[in-house]
């Protein structure tokens, strides 16, 4: 989801985007028209927000052909696999950091014990 920046340069809003305010915190949000009717989390307050359906638009207008649905499904799967791989890498890094921290704590404790 793209956001309207509050104080920096604004994100380019296309004619097909839906711009609306979070009903909880007032943050300006922008999402592609295909998000109409979906529930998303506000990027500012992280509360659930229902994306409004623009006047004159029907949810049937959002239906995609089967080829586009398959492309999106495969892209989602690839992104999910990348995210899982990144999580595994981060977990390994976390274990290494915990080990290093434990070694440092031991060294500090031993150093304080000598004093």
Q: Where are the domains of the chain?
A: 1-54, 63-115
**C-alpha span between 34 and 59 (Å, rounded):** 9
Q: What is the mean pLDDT of residues 77-95?
A: 96
Q: What is the pTM of this model?
A: 0.46
Token reading at 21: 């305010």
14: pLDDT strictly greater than 70: yes
pLDDT at residue 112 in the model:
81
Does the pLDDT value for residue 48 go beyond 70? yes
Determine the Cα–Cα distance for residues 73 and 39; give it in Å rounded to an integer: 19
- The beta-strand segments (E) located in 1-115 are 2-3, 17-21, 28-32, 39-41, 48-50
Q: Does the structure show a pLDDT above 60 at 115?
A: no
The predicted model gives 78-105 an average pLDDT of: 96
């Amino acid at each position: 989801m793209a956001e309207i920046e509050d104080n920096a340069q604004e994100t380019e809003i296309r004619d097909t985007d839906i711009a609306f305010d979070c009903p909880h915190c007032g943050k300006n949000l922008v999402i592609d028209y295909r998000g109409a009717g979906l529930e998303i989390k506000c990027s500012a307050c992280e509360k659930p927000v229902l994306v409004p359906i623009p006047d004159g638009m029907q949810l049937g207008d959002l239906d995609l052909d089967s080829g586009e649905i398959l492309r999106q499904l495969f892209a989602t799967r690839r992104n999910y696999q990348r995210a899982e791989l990144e999580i595994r890498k981060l977990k390994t890094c976390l274990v290494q950091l915990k080990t290093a921290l434990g070694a440092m704590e031991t060294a500090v404790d031993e150093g304080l014990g000598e004093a």
